[in-house]
Amino acid sequence: MSKGSAPVIRRTAAQFVSAILVLICIGSFLNSVSGRNPQSVEPNQPQDPGFAKMIREWTTRPEFLSPLVNHLPVTQGVPSPNQVLNHHIGAPKTLTYYSDILNYYRTLASKSPRVKVATIGKTDEGRDCVVVFVAAEETLGNAEAYRGFLAQLADPRRLNEADANQVIAKAKPVYHLIGGLHAAETGASEMLMELAYRLAADESPLVRQIRDNVIVTITPVADPDGRDRYVDWYYRHLVDADRESGRTGGAPFWGKYVYHDNNRDINYSQPANRALLDWYLQWHPPVMHDLHESIPYLYTMSLRANPALDPMLYSELQWFSNFEMSQLTKYGMPGVWARPFADMWSPAYLVYMSSNHNGLQRLYEVFGNGGATTMKRSLVAAPGGPDPETSQQWYRPVPPYPEAEWSIRNNINYSETGVLTAL
């Protein structure tokens, strides 16, 4: 590669993401000047009254729920999580084992032409690693063609600008979501089941807009071995720990060889991580979004640039995080913020595979209790931290409360609302 060609390749590889994001911003602007957003409920589609009732009971304050997730549509023949798991997502003291998670996705795929499950490898202990696809039926029927478009854009050495624009006009972006990389961070793997059902079954303008224009792909649990080990530990030791002082450490190890450091696997040595990387190199998703749990209530990563990466990526990160922060704040949800927490310096993060290929690496941190037990949480500023978590800042317009009852359903409400906003 000639010395002068690298910036050209970086620009062209990022051009597809930028074109899509410009269209999203135009759509958001048109919605804002007309005084509305895409409708989140289809008035002619029946809704599940039991879901609405239980979700409100499990959400500990009304402002911890949004109009995007306070209802669940019913589509004849397409099973909701409750119909397969026998509980709605976010039920107190209820976590789902990996085999049951897989069973739900495979059941959903068997009933809906908008869902597909692909097995991409095996874990150390022999569990299947999968990627779930959700999109319009026509899109999934032509999935290989869309994969080919992304492959052309990912390797633009034989693609001039005019040809790239023609490919962009035909392509659809793949937005990849990852849950459960850290086994003790349990909410995302629960939420993603409900999200997949919503994307497949909902006929609202908002969801149809997503389904028709985006290919959503999901890693339900990035560490399947650790998931099952942690769920065992939770039910044995933590399920009744309803006070913050009772939040002891989790299982002494998660996967067969790794613990929290599976997100520091710089060589992709672990089979589950390697399987995802191999899939990434086949599909070239422009966005990889890793869902984690730690700080209140929803942190959406932006800023802290790495000069080794294309500067366009940072402006695009801010487009997403600012939009999410403003939308969730508009819904009245406190504690949504961006900026000073995570950075993009470590090449060991699992989704750095995206940064290394001029794609967008995204991250959420959502408040979690290390399980599904509701408890009172108190926020104390970390010594030496930039500011207390409860302070109002330009990047934290409505701070979280100093003290609040927190449930796994709160966690799911925040992460699912954020993801739907991003999509």
Amino acid at 168: I
Inter-helix orientation angle 408-422/49-58, to 10°: 120
What is the arithmetic mean of pLDDT over 201-206? 98
Question: Which of the pair, 119 or 305, is modelled with greater confidence?
Answer: 119
CATH of domain 6-245+260-422: 3.40.630.10
Residue 28 pLDDT level (bands cut at 50, 70, 90): very low
Question: Which of the pair, 335 or 40, is modelled with greater confidence?
Answer: 335
Q: Find, among 340, 336, 284, 344, the residue nearest to 313 by Cα.
A: 344
Number of residues assigned to the chain: 423
What is the arithmetic mean of pLDDT over 358-375? 95
Write down the pLDDT at residue 116: 98
Q: Is the pLDDT of residue 6 over 80?
A: no
Q: Is the pLDDT of residue 19 over 70?
A: no
Lowest mean pLDDT among 67-81, 138-152, 165-179, 250-264: 250-264
Decide: residue 245, CB within 10 A, 0-12 exposed, 13-18 middle, 19+ buried.
exposed
Domain ranges of the chain: 6-245+260-422
Write down the pLDDT at residue 386: 57
- pLDDT above 70: percentage of residues in the chain: 88
Supply 13's token pair. Answer: 């590889």
Residue 83 pLDDT level (bands cut at 50, 70, 90): very high
What is the arithmetic mean of pLDDT over 160-166? 94
DSSP state of 63: G
The span from the CA of 416 to the CA of 71, in Å, is 12
For tokens 């034989």, what's the residue? 158
Question: Which of the pair, 251 or 411, is modelled with greater confidence?
Answer: 411
The span from the CA of 353 to the CA of 348, in Å, is 9
**Cβ-contact 254, 226 below 8 angstroms:** yes
Residue 290: what are its φ and ψ, rounded to 5°?
A: -100, 125
Write down the pLDDT at residue 36: 43
Question: Which of the pair, 351 or 30, is modelled with greater confidence?
Answer: 351
Lowest mean pLDDT among 38-42, 89-93, 130-134, 191-195: 38-42
Highest mean pLDDT of the ranges 23-32, 264-273, 299-308: 264-273
| Contacts with 230 (C-beta within 8 Å, 6 or more apart), sequence order | 183, 184, 186, 250, 251, 254
Question: Which of the pair, 358 or 114, is modelled with greater confidence?
Answer: 114
Write down the pLDDT at residue 150: 97
Residue 384 pLDDT level (bands cut at 50, 70, 90): low
Question: Count H helices, E strands: the chain?
Answer: 14, 10
Kindly report the average pLDDT of the chain as a whole number. Answer: 90
The 298-300 sheet, strands edge to edge: 115-122, 128-134, 215-219, 174-178, 287-294, 360-367, 298-300, 336-337
What is the arithmetic mean of pLDDT over 92-115? 98
Q: What is the pLDDT of residues 304-344, one digit of tens each?
A: 667 888 888 888 899 999 999 999 999 999 999 998 788 77
**264-281 b/e (C-beta count within 10 Å ≥ 16 → b):** ebeebebbbbbbbbebbe
Q: Find, among 299, 402, 295, 277, the residue nearest to 350 by Cα.
A: 277
Write down the pLDDT at residue 9: 47
DSSP state of 260: G
Write down the pLDDT at residue 313: 84
**Cβ-contact 230, 186 below 8 angstroms:** yes
Write down the pLDDT at residue 409: 98
Q: Is the pLDDT of residue 258 over 80?
A: yes
Q: Is the pLDDT of residue 371 over 90?
A: yes
Write down the pLDDT at residue 252: 82
pTM over 0.85: yes
Q: Is the pLDDT of residue 250 over 80?
A: no
What is the arithmetic mean of pLDDT over 126-131? 98
Cα-Cα-Cα-Cα dihedral of 188, 212, 79, 141, to 10°? -110
Residue 246 pLDDT level (bands cut at 50, 70, 90): confident
Question: Which of the pair, 277 or 386, is modelled with greater confidence?
Answer: 277
Lowest mean pLDDT among 102-106, 315-319, 368-372, 377-381: 377-381
